[in-house]
Structure 1
Amino acid sequence: MGDKAHTHPGAAGRAVAADQPASIRNVVLVGHSGAGKTTLVEALALTAGALNRAGRVEDGGCVSDYDDIEHRQQRSVQLSVVPVTWDGIKINLLDTPGYADFVGELRAGLRAADAALFVVSAADGVDGSTRMVWEECAAVGMPRAIVVTHLEAARADFEEMTRVCAEAFGAEDPDAVLPLYLPLHGPEGPDGHAPVTGLVGLLTQKLFDYSTGERKESEPGEDQLPRMDEARNRLIEGIISESEDETLMDRYLGGERVDVETLIKDLERAVARAAFFPVLPAAPAAEGARQGLGTVEVLELITRGFPTPLEREAPTVTTLDGTPRELKPCDPDGPLVAEVVKTASDPYVGRVSLVRVFSGTLRPDETVHVSGHGLADRGHEDHDVDERVGALSMPFGKQQRPVPQAVAGDLVSVAKLNRAETGDTLSAKDEPLLMAPWEMPDPLLPLAIQAHSKADEDKLSQGLARLVAEDPTMRLEQNQDTHQVVLWCLGEAHADVALERLRTRYGVQVDVVPHRVSLRETFATKAAGRGRHVKQSGGHGQYAICEIEVEPLPGGSGIEFVDKVVGGAVPRQFIPSVEKGVRAQAAKGVAAGYPLVDVRVTLLDGKAHSVDSSDAAFQTAAALALREAAADAKIHLLEPVAEVSVLVGDDYVGAVMSDLSGRRGRVLGTEQVAGGRTLVRAEVPEIEISRYAVDLRSLSHGTARFDRRYARHEPMPPQVAERVRQQERAAS
């Protein structure tokens, strides 16, 4: 921020420590996949001295060696933490995946951080999902800055990208999104592209040359001043407009010169309170170089402009019975309140929990209370247990470096919390507390699976339990209607990672099978049936005859049983037997094997034998009567219909509505939403939206989101019903 010259303040290969919240910064890196977040993290770690020039920590391992799956898929799939030190400040860099399927990891990073670096590629621009995350950060007042990467790309234009960022992120005030530095270009190469070799500090009017791999400061030449002046004047006006000194703007416009130190202090305050969002260029170090372009400037911004954990409001906390509990912001001596923001499994130490401490101090080998809201609909049980904390360590890639404690404001890895899951609260065992939950995206892509072999079947249950314990964005369903095990995921990549982890981490091989929806049957017309169950084979025989009438009822009525027998044709003690037989057969179905619903079954007449009639006989006769009635009636196949709400940018509303109509959907209405978006409400058969999470993302270029909830079952069109029946016959 102050354009200070730095050489090598980091501590290579040593564990970083923070004794007080004021010496900690928690920063999450946000951006689309391929924007260069992980590369930037490595460049910052190299500049801070946490890595050597080969990009490796002193005691082995690379900062990006997080997960074998990431190497195979060539993209980040999980949140990772890289701690570095700069000017005596510990910086926890939280690197998040940019792919939409792993938004749960992004949300965890946002929960654990106090500020955000939005990483934008000069070659690709700003996508819709990045805009949406910016809006989320704005809603909670999180300080933000923008780092423009890929400046080496042939079509890269930093000034143009700054304008794009101001347009995308500065909806309320474009002058709040301005560059602090401009890139310096070297001589043009054979391809006509001039590489970026340094930066111009607009406030101090200093040049910083990175061409040798070491940051060197110099004065600008006369030919560079005109380019600097326009950008500098606009930056100064942007900073002054956010100054707490309301007279400063008038004095500046009146010709008074504002000194650089005043501007820097106002800038730091504006950034910390999320009123100003600086833009900085950055690039990784060239081979053999020690400092990447712009990395010193980014580290300066983080340490001087981003807030400490002390400046974050205390989280909303209650006792376990719901009584509010007031906390001081980030008090190391206060009651212990920490949250599990990520859960992972290590083949050597077992479960490892990444924890953000919000209050108090967490120490190894102490007993804490683990409490959680539970996500029963996602296969997560509620928690209210005491557990002993294992070793505390600081993650660095695959490395875990032991630390003696973690104070309020810090992040730490905790070993052997076997019951704690992501989102759970850790507190003192004699003063259990519970943090308000954070929003989790709803998984809407079903993945039906079955064990590949008998050996896999024995391990499947435990493997799935551990999988969903690590990932709260995944929902496990044991569907009682279809008898399928279904993993609900956020997208195809999310599903692929889940299957890979089951196979490699938990040793469970599964097969993916077609997902089935819960169909039903009902009578479309009134029908009658007679069930006769008469058998004689020595001793007591079986004798039961009953006559029924079946008529359709409105949707949602279930099965209604009516007794209209007169004259004791069916003895009173066997009436419940008839009803039991009817309901048992209805559960099995009468045509295609799906449960029968929404009918009234009336028992009209029957016959009994004084010796051979029994409960079992009348149950069997009732089932036969219901099947006979179905044989003479028209049977409708009922399909579940979902209420779907799609939030989409105005540019894609027409395409979304057309697509929903093509899925046999009925659009119920639309309404305008702030930010140039529209909410489309529709009813769509569930069989048509199994892959809607994937298709909508493609249709809207990742800018739309939707939710769904069951509405009702209704008759399926005959041609669709016949197709379903053919598929069922082929599968069997």
Structure 2
Amino acid sequence: MPHNTIRTARCAALVGPYLAGKTTLLESLLFAAGAISRKGSVRDGNSVGDSAPEAKARKMSTEVNAASFEYLGERWSILDCPGSVELACESQNALMAADLAVVVAEAAPDKAVLLAPLFKFLDDRRIPHILFINKIDTLGDQSVRAVVSAYQEVSTRKLVLRAVPMREKGVVTGLVDLVSERAWRFNPHKPSNPVSLPDALKTDESEARQALLESIADFDDALLEKLLEDMAPDSDAVYDSLAQELANDQIVPVFFGSAENDNGVRRLLKALRHEGPEVAVTAARVDAPAQGAVAVQIVKTQIGSHAGKLSLARVWRGEVADGMILGGERVSGVFRLFGHEQTKIPTATAGDLVALGRLDKAATGDRLTDANGGKGNLGAPADWPERPAPVYGLALHAENRNDDVKLSSAIQKLTEEDPSLVLEQASDTGELVLWGQGDIHLRIAMDRLRGKFNVAVKGQAPQIPYQESIRKGTSHHARYKRQTGGHGQFADIQIDIRPLPRGSGIQFEDAVVGGSVPRQYIGSVEAGIRDAAARGPLGFPVVDFAVTLTGGQFHPVDSSDMAFKTAARQAIAEALPACEPVLLEPLLTVTIAVPSAFTPKIQRLVSGRRGQLMGFDARPGWPGWDEVKASLPQADMQDLIVELRSLSLGVGTYVWEFDRLQEAVGRAADRAVEIRREVLAAQ
């Protein structure tokens, strides 16, 4: 269909838990709309979505995939979002561009808790959403109402069943639409066939339709008045109410089907078309910028190894043309996406989801306009998703040492593509640590470094920033003397060492009297002490001790700054082993968030990691959730997120902050010292 015949352009996002079938649903929607003649599959690696090498290798979505197509005179863009909780940032950013979301879930009540964070995100931002219960062929003896009831427990919005199933011998064979009251028999991989409403279903259908009408009448006074007068509302009025209340995020219509068999998918597609909000409604909801004639929202950044940077953008207002100045930069290409395929187009209009080329300064989240001579970059809106707190880190190094400089540049591009990745140069250990949302998240990042940027890397658990201190003090005398021909080197010092309270750092005091150590060398003594403290008897930096310089000797010719600095280092190295050195390990304050049903498991989790519970309380703004506070050694944190998610069906998370240093004893301390000696020996 020619571009100028398109009446409107809209965007929907497919979101939901891992294995719910989102990519399969995308494939089915494209097939139903005639955008593809033959369906691919995740299993075979030939689907429109999941085209990246990392996705094919894992048979799962690893990033947002976009596919645009035309259906009955309208252009639709579908965003297929990853379901892994570790990649939630990708999905949340994509949702900020959508007119509505299709929440894809399995017909499994025991998995309802998986949707709690997603429903919370959608409702906090008033993003309209539909619930599509997929894999209806696995429903078995359960009722659709029981499944919907389970999902209602984790949704603050009313879930409104839009159809009831038809069954034969316990198998769902079709549906009855509760608005039109028309029955449809599933015809796998083909459009459903209209059939007469079975007599056995008439009572159930009537009751379910009444429940639907009562639910939407809560927000429609005219409809409520008709119901109170026992008047049957016409279907058009019901559809209008459904569309209005969906757009206002007041209700969540519930559909069901099987994407694998293309059952119920055409019904979903028609509901999106007739009831989903249009771009003007969405632009008002997100408070799209009013400055200028053009406004767009960047929702994802892609950087190719050769093609350069592409910014996936939703056009809220106006027309974006190749070569125009937008957000202070010239647009170098406008592309419509269909999975990994890119089609260059001259312009994109309001509602379109397109990739814009070479906007080097634009970042994910930015809102761009053509205001102020095309210089309008307004940054991210106030409700843009916050970057999740990092919960898992790996120390990276290039397999080829010659790639060290290349590695830093590649990671910078990677973090621009994925804002939930954080690169840190650890000040304590000097390691290059990449932080993210879990092991899968970071392994995907490492695969991209290798495949996209040609930098092979290895990752390992980051070193724990242990320190050490002393339990008792001592006095020590050190002399440094060397004769090498001309001027020699001479310095003699006497010091007292004593422990300090935790957090005191290193303190130096000058108590020399009579000029036994000249004033110009005092600073060198302090510098030598601090240098020596970088590696104590156990191999770690030494903290929380004081050194007093009480006396010494000098030579008028052979003494120098370097000599006194060396003598100070020697004194510390010789004295500290006699001061009962002790290992200090960092303790973190960890706040763990889980549904209340899993709270009892957290006590075992914490105690099994040498932790101490500090109490728990209700999680603010999250009905049915708790926050558990605990003190945990950093050494026991590396795979905490893995176990926590295993205990909480994948939804548990935590934030942490450094609390204090504490003496470490026993097997954990001995092992830490042993590993440190091995590391130092290998350097």
Give TM-score scaled by structure 2 length.
Answer: 0.92
1:48-127 residue pairs with structure 2 within 5 A?
48-55=33-40, 62-123=47-108, 126-127=111-112
Superposed displacement of residue 466, structure 1 = 2.0
Question: Could you say what secondary structure the match of 1:72 adopts?
Answer: helix
Question: Could you say what secondary structure the match of 1:525 adopts?
Answer: coil
Out of 269, 275, 291, the residue aligned to residue 250 of structure 2 is 275
- RMSD (Å), alpha carbons: 2.6
AA of the residue aligned to 1:423: G
Native 8 Å contact 1:123 1:155 kept in 2: no
Identity of aligned residues (%): 30
Out of 186, 201, 209, the residue aligned to residue 185 of structure 2 is 209
Native 8 Å contact 1:521 1:635 kept in 2: yes
AA of the residue aligned to 2:482: K
Q: Deviations over 1:122-148 (max 9, x none)?
A: 257534231211012112222111111
Cross-structure match for 1:630? 576
Measure, in 1, the Cα distance between the counterparts of 2:480 and 2:305: 61
Superposed displacement of residue 353, structure 1 = 1.8
Instruction: Please tell me whether residue 338 in structure 1 is matched to residue 296 in structure 2.
Output: yes
Cross-structure match for 1:163? 148
Q: Which deviates further from its counterpart, 627-636 or 80-89?
A: 80-89
- Alpha-carbon spacing, 1:534–1:120, altered in 2? closer, same or farther (3 Å): same
Instruction: Please tell me whether residue 660 in structure 1 is matched to residue 606 in structure 2.
Output: yes
Superposed displacement of residue 162, structure 1 = 4.1
Instruction: Please tell me whether residue 306 in structure 1 is matched to residue 276 in structure 2.
Output: yes
Q: Deviations over 1:584-603 (max 9, x none)?
A: 112x2221232222221111
Out of 647, 668, 671, the residue aligned to residue 720 of structure 1 is 668
Cross-structure match for 1:31? 16
Cross-structure match for 1:178? 160
Cross-structure match for 1:446? 393
Superposed displacement of residue 97, structure 1 = 0.9
AA of the residue aligned to 1:261: D
Measure, in 2, the Cα distance between the counterparts of 1:314 and 1:552: 63
Question: Could you say what secondary structure the match of 1:417 adopts?
Answer: coil
Cross-structure match for 2:553? 607
1:299-378 residue pairs with structure 2 within 5 A?
299-312=269-282, 329=288, 334=292, 336-369=294-327
Superposed displacement of residue 337, structure 1 = 4.1
Superposed displacement of residue 473, structure 1 = 0.7
Native 8 Å contact 2:31 2:38 kept in 1: yes
Measure, in 2, the Cα distance between the counterparts of 1:636 and 1:367: 62
Native 8 Å contact 2:113 2:154 kept in 1: no
Measure, in 2, the Cα distance between the counterparts of 1:714 and 1:336: 57
Question: Could you say what secondary structure the match of 2:497 adopts?
Answer: strand
Measure, in 2, the Cα distance between the counterparts of 1:161 and 1:404: 50
Measure, in 1, the Cα distance between the counterparts of 2:465 and 2:318: 49
Measure, in 2, the Cα distance between the counterparts of 1:686 and 1:580: 30
Out of 449, 469, 475, the residue aligned to residue 416 of structure 2 is 469
Question: Could you say what secondary structure the match of 1:225 adopts?
Answer: helix
Superposed displacement of residue 222, structure 1 = 3.2
Superposed displacement of residue 578, structure 1 = 0.9
Measure, in 1, the Cα distance between the counterparts of 2:493 and 2:520: 14
Instruction: Please tell me whether residue 508 in structure 1 is matched to residue 455 in structure 2.
Output: yes
Superposed displacement of residue 657, structure 1 = 2.0
Native 8 Å contact 2:422 2:435 kept in 1: yes
Superposed displacement of residue 170, structure 1 = 4.5
- Alpha-carbon spacing, 1:18–1:446, altered in 2? closer, same or farther (3 Å): farther
Cross-structure match for 1:138? 123
AA of the residue aligned to 2:210: N
Native 8 Å contact 1:421 1:469 kept in 2: yes
Measure, in 2, the Cα distance between the counterparts of 1:521 and 1:727: 15
Superposed displacement of residue 432, structure 1 = 4.1
Question: Could you say what secondary structure the match of 1:622 adopts?
Answer: helix
Give TM-score scaled by structure 1 length.
Answer: 0.86
Unmatched 5+ stretches in structure 1: 1-10, 287-291, 317-326, 370-385
Unmatched 5+ stretches in structure 2: none
**What number of residue pairs does the alignment pair up?**
669
Q: Deviations over 1:48-76 (max 9, x none)?
A: 121113459xxxx8423521211110111
- Alpha-carbon spacing, 1:177–1:413, altered in 2? closer, same or farther (3 Å): same
Cross-structure match for 1:595? 541
Measure, in 2, the Cα distance between the counterparts of 1:79 and 1:575: 61
Measure, in 1, the Cα distance between the counterparts of 2:543 and 2:205: 75
Superposed displacement of residue 84, structure 1 = 2.8
Native 8 Å contact 1:107 1:440 kept in 2: no
Native 8 Å contact 1:123 1:151 kept in 2: no
Instruction: Please tell me whether residue 252 in structure 1 is matched to residue 234 in structure 2.
Output: no
Out of 356, 379, 384, the residue aligned to residue 434 of structure 1 is 379
Cross-structure match for 2:329? 387
Native 8 Å contact 1:477 1:487 kept in 2: yes
Superposed displacement of residue 197, structure 1 = 3.7
Cross-structure match for 2:437? 490
Measure, in 2, the Cα distance between the counterparts of 1:198 and 1:109: 32
- Alpha-carbon spacing, 1:617–1:19, altered in 2? closer, same or farther (3 Å): farther
Superposed displacement of residue 88, structure 1 = 2.6
Q: Which deviates further from its counterpart, 225-234 or 406-415?
A: 406-415
Cross-structure match for 1:374? none
Superposed displacement of residue 156, structure 1 = 6.7
Cross-structure match for 1:376? none
Measure, in 1, the Cα distance between the counterparts of 2:86 and 2:201: 45
Q: Deviations over 1:232-259 (max 9, x none)?
A: 22212222222142xx434423322222
AA of the residue aligned to 2:410: G
Superposed displacement of residue 402, structure 1 = 1.8
Instruction: Please tell me whether residue 423 in structure 1 is matched to residue 365 in structure 2.
Output: yes
1:41-52 residue pairs with structure 2 within 5 A?
41-52=26-37
Q: Deviations over 1:500-522 (max 9, x none)?
A: 11121111122223421111122
- Alpha-carbon spacing, 1:664–1:335, altered in 2? closer, same or farther (3 Å): farther
Native 8 Å contact 1:122 1:158 kept in 2: no
Measure, in 1, the Cα distance between the counterparts of 2:252 and 2:497: 70
Superposed displacement of residue 268, structure 1 = 1.7
Question: Could you say what secondary structure the match of 2:379 adopts?
Answer: strand
Native 8 Å contact 2:611 2:633 kept in 1: yes
- Alpha-carbon spacing, 1:724–1:118, altered in 2? closer, same or farther (3 Å): same
Superposed displacement of residue 532, structure 1 = 0.6
Superposed displacement of residue 347, structure 1 = 4.6
Instruction: Please tell me whether residue 619 in structure 1 is matched to residue 565 in structure 2.
Output: yes
Superposed displacement of residue 553, structure 1 = 1.7
Q: Which consecutive aligned stretches of 4+ in structure 1 deviate over 6 angstroms post-superposition?
A: 16-20
Instruction: Please tell me whether residue 219 in structure 1 is matched to residue 219 in structure 2.
Output: no
Superposed displacement of residue 499, structure 1 = 1.6
Measure, in 2, the Cα distance between the counterparts of 1:520 and 1:361: 59
Out of 520, 538, 541, the residue aligned to residue 488 of structure 2 is 541
Question: Could you say what secondary structure the match of 2:136 adopts?
Answer: coil
Question: Could you say what secondary structure the match of 2:126 adopts?
Answer: coil
Q: Deviations over 1:405-460 (max 9, x none)?
A: 23344321122334444334434444442233431212210111222123443532
Native 8 Å contact 2:135 2:260 kept in 1: no
AA of the residue aligned to 2:208: A
AA of the residue aligned to 1:108: N
Question: Could you say what secondary structure the match of 1:152 adopts?
Answer: helix
